[in-house]
A = this chain, B = another copy of it.
Amino acid sequence: MKKINVAVNGYGVIGKRVAEAVALQKDMELVGIGDVAADWRIKTAAQKYAVFANTEEGHRAMVNQKIEVAGDLNDLLDAADVVVDCAPKKFGAQNAEKYRQAGVKFIVQGGEKHETTGHSFSAENNYTLAIGRDATRVVSCNTTSIVRTLSALKRAGLLNKARGTLLRRATDPWESHKNGIMNTLVPEPEIPSHQGPDAQSVDPNLDVVTAAVKVPQTLSHLHYWTVQLTKEASKDEVLEAFGSSTRTAFINMSDDLSANNAVKELMLDLGRPHGDMYEVAIWKDMLKVEGDELYYAYLVDNQAIVIPETIDAIRALTGIESDPAKSIKKTNRSLGIRQRFI
């Protein structure tokens, strides 16, 4: 079987995880990573991967830091069938032009606009629509969780409308000495916040409104949802609906998984790389159905949840797997994704 050659451009919190995940796929080959920095992160990358310098300045910095440089961005793109752009927000749109000129298929992350690719991706929702396209956009962590959970309710014929409050982690842990917030709560200035409309870029028929607030912790996002169901339903019906997503796992307060630090520790104890949680973790015993109203809360690991989606997006764009369920299964197995943690 011919393997797909994958380049990762931008080696930050998402890029490094995509690189690791690509390296685990039997049908993919990681040809290298591109970046412009020359700090500890890139030195670590150079121990494992071929490193390409995206700019001349970056090249000089890498040489100064004794990092072996495999080539420039053109060399990286020459070697790739598809490039996954994980550059900081907004750079993806600039890079997209270069990818198009080089004739390489590409994936951007959720920080970019839908218009950059014209398609927004969520594996369990619209994999087939991405097959054979030149480019797609894997929606953001929060949006991925929204589409994943609400699509599950929709498939079961239960979803009327959903209203959510999102507690967003302040910043990523590795840079919390730079961008952290202390002892405060920072609401997004507008309701609805952008995640609701963003979910509609994947599924325009979702009736979803979100409000969001930044909180002073770094471990994960936490969502609270109120859903108007299409009819009165039992808790079991709802649990079964969520269970139809293979990337949704249930956790329980009664297991003392009563805060996001405990869940993070569980992921580390399970031996997950970086303690990553790819699944949406829904509190099963907290979840409540009253008549035709449903209430629940879940955790989103903002650094990890989009990784399996990105792997599936690679298969969809390149067409090496036309069956969404098969791609999802391969990805889930390679990353150890499961619906029960304990």
Q: A184-B259, A259-B187, A286-B190 are in contact. Are A216 and B215 (CB under 8 A)?
A: yes
Are A295 and B209 closer than 8 Å at their CB atoms?
A: yes
Chain B residues, Cβ within 8 Å of A287? 191
Chain B residues, Cβ within 8 Å of A184? 217, 219, 259-261
Distance of A297 Cα from B165 Cα, bound (Å): 10
Count residues of A near B (Cβ-Cβ below 8 Å). 41
Q: Assess whether A183 is interfacial by the CB under 8 Å rule.
A: yes
Distance of A218 Cα from B215 Cα, bound (Å): 12
Q: Assess whether A65 is interfacial by the CB under 8 Å rule.
A: no
Distance of A295 Cα from B161 Cα, bound (Å): 15
1/0 per residue A217-250: CB within 8 Å of B?
Answer: 1111010101000000000000000000000000
Chain B residues, Cβ within 8 Å of A187? 222, 253, 258-259, 283, 286, 297
Are A183 and B217 closer than 8 Å at their CB atoms?
A: yes
| Chain B residue nearest to A287 in the complex (CB) | B191
1/0 per residue A110-138: CB within 8 Å of B?
Answer: 00000000000000000000000000000
Distance of A303 Cα from B20 Cα, bound (Å): 49
Question: Distance in Å from the Cβ of A288 to the closest Cβ of chain B?
Answer: 5
Q: Assess whether A323 is interfacial by the CB under 8 Å rule.
A: no
Instruction: Beyond the given A187-B286, A215-B216, please list 15 additional residue pairs across the A-B interface where CB-CB is below 8 A.
Output: A163-B226, A167-B167, A167-B185, A183-B216, A184-B261, A185-B219, A186-B259, A190-B286, A191-B287, A191-B288, A191-B295, A192-B288, A209-B293, A211-B297, A215-B215
16 example contacts (A-B, Cβ-Cβ < 8 A) are as follows: A163-B163, A167-B185, A182-B217, A183-B219, A183-B261, A184-B261, A189-B258, A189-B286, A190-B286, A191-B286, A191-B287, A191-B297, A209-B295, A211-B297, A216-B216, A216-B217
Q: Which 8 residue pairs across A and B have the least CB separation, nearest first?
A: A165-B165, A184-B261, A189-B253, A186-B259, A165-B224, A191-B295, A191-B288, A163-B226
